[in-house]
A and B are shown apart, each in its own frame.
Chain A
Amino acid sequence: MEYRKVLIVDDSATSRMIIKRCFEMAGFMEAEFFEAEDGLKAVSFLQNNPVDLIVTDLKMPKMDGNTFIKKIKLQESTKEIPVIVISSLGSDLLEQQLYEEGVYIIIKKPISPAKILEGLGVEE
């Protein structure tokens, strides 16, 4: 896998733990994982810490995932970073909006290693 530094953004510590575990099981064993509990903290983290991949929830306090994604897609230094959305808020309309905003993959909660591999187009 080419993603060496992964930022996980989710307000639930349990969810961040599950996401990290699933990515490791999906083959991201060498990756270094960083965590932020909302979009605001993630934006702040990204100012000084470049990453190769962002994995974010949508529903978070302080700054939700939609606002966070819009912000990083406007920043020159972060706009090219692939964003994976992991959320329980699923709808075709919402998915379409997110893809138009530049989201790379959308995975519906609960996440699993198989869903990550399927989303990335990797055969198990």
Chain B
Amino acid sequence: MNKINKQALSEALVKAVMVTFADMAFLDVVPNTEENSLGKGEIHQIIGLPLLDPVLGNLYLFLPKDCKRAIVENIHGRPWEELSIEEIDDCLLELLNVLGGNFLENYLGRDRKYNISFPEVIFDDQEIESRSLCLELYFDAEGIPFKILVTLEAVI
């Protein structure tokens, strides 16, 4: 197993988040240096993306309702009230899918193949707590906080 370079992983994730949110959701995102800027009670939805190869782990996006709303309304160009739950979930999952791809490409480089699974809505956060935490980063999307967590089992 290769050694995990947390600094490089963190830089790859920050860059991927900023680019993906700007390009897809037209949101300016910056890292939030204030830890725990998002209380557990504020989290409205968790979505996860299993990373399969060569990085084995998971990428989780913790979103408060305002952040979900901003992302989905910007991408769809329609008000939140007009959107179905399926449209909202599909939109967030697609964002995470693209984010995961950009993150791994930043970390591994373009010449390295990688494999990710399908993004999914997480209903039980106990499942996340049992995994080995690698990175926990807080962000600010135009005044709205959100969190990203990476769990890693191995880098093959």
User: Which residues from chain A sit less than 8 Å from chain B, CB to CB?
Assistant: 12-15, 17-18, 59, 61, 87-94, 108-110, 112
Contact = CB atoms under 8 A, between A and B. Distances in A.
B91 A91 contact: no
A18 to B, nearest CB: 7
Nearest to A13: B90
A14 B113 contact: no
A59 B94 CA distance: 12
B23 A61 contact: no
Contact of B102 (A12, A61, A88): A88
A110 B20 contact: yes
B50 to A, nearest CB: 12
B90 A110 contact: no
B90 A14 contact: yes
Contacts of A61: 118
Contact of A91 (B90, B112, B118): B112
8 A-B pairs closest in CB distance: A88-B101, A14-B91, A110-B23, A14-B94, A12-B94, A110-B24, A109-B98, A91-B113
A59 B115 CA distance: 10
Given A90-B105, A91-B110, A92-B110, A12 B97 contact: yes
A59 B110 contact: no
A91 B114 CA distance: 8
Interface of B: 20, 23-24, 75-76, 86-87, 90-91, 93-94, 97-98, 100-102, 105, 110-116, 118
Nearest to B101: A88
A92 to B, nearest CB: 5
Given A61-B118, A88-B101, A110-B20, A93 B90 contact: no
Contacts of B100: 88
B111 A109 contact: no
A14 B47 CA distance: 16
Contacts of A17: 76
A107 to B, nearest CB: 12
Contact of A89 (B20, B75, B87, B114): B114
A13 B113 contact: no
A13 B93 contact: no
B75 A14 contact: yes
B90 A109 contact: no
A18 B25 CA distance: 11
A90 B111 contact: no
